[in-house]
Amino acid sequence: MSPQSGNAFEAMGREDLLRALEMFAKNWLAHDGCWFLAAEERFDMQTAIDLDARSWTRFASAEARRIMTTFDIQAGGGLEALERALSLRLYCYQHSTDRMVGRPQASAAEQSAEQPLRCR
């Protein structure tokens, strides 16, 4: 790719784009962890937890709006729309090799004992 050709991603094939998406998902998680650790070092654990919760509250609504707009998911679309939107979160990115970025998928028994909404 020459410097004049513009966006490097436009020249990529499907496999390279999937690898880039996987890398971005890992980078996103790493940044989240680094941010939390920096907040804990600067303040204390409880303050880091409080800041993290406030940050996620703000981010979740922005992420939901962006996903719904980008993929034309209508508000009030019921459980199918919710499932589609949740599956499009970067945290839920799963490559065809069945590797998941973030925590591993739990068994059905483990899921029922945990929070009801999890990445699949």
What integer is the mean pLDDT of 78-90? 93
The answer as to whether 20 is a domain residue is yes
What integer is the mean pLDDT of 73-87? 95
The answer as to whether 116 is a domain residue is no
The answer as to whether 100 is a domain residue is no
Which pLDDT score is estimated for 4? 56
Distance CA 41, CA 99 (A): 31
Domain that holds residue 67: 14-95
User: How would residue 2 be classed by pLDDT, with cut points 50, 70 and 90?
Assistant: low
The answer as to whether 41 is a domain residue is yes
The answer as to whether 19 is a domain residue is yes
Distance CA 80, CA 71 (A): 13
The answer as to whether 114 is a domain residue is no
User: How would residue 92 be classed by pLDDT, with cut points 50, 70 and 90?
Assistant: confident
Total domains in the fold of the chain: 1
Which pLDDT score is estimated for 13? 96
Tens-digit pLDDT profile for residues 26-35: 998 899 999 9
Quick check: 116 pLDDT over 70?
no
| DSSP one-letter string for the chain | --GGG--GGGG--HHHHHHHHHHHHHHHHHHHHHHHHHHHHHS-HHHHHHHHHHHHHHHHHHHHHHHHHHTTPPTT-HHHHHHHHHHTSGGG-B-TT--BSSSPPPPHHHHHHS-S----
Distance CA 66, CA 113 (A): 30
The answer as to whether 43 is a domain residue is yes
What's the whole-number average pLDDT of the chain? 81
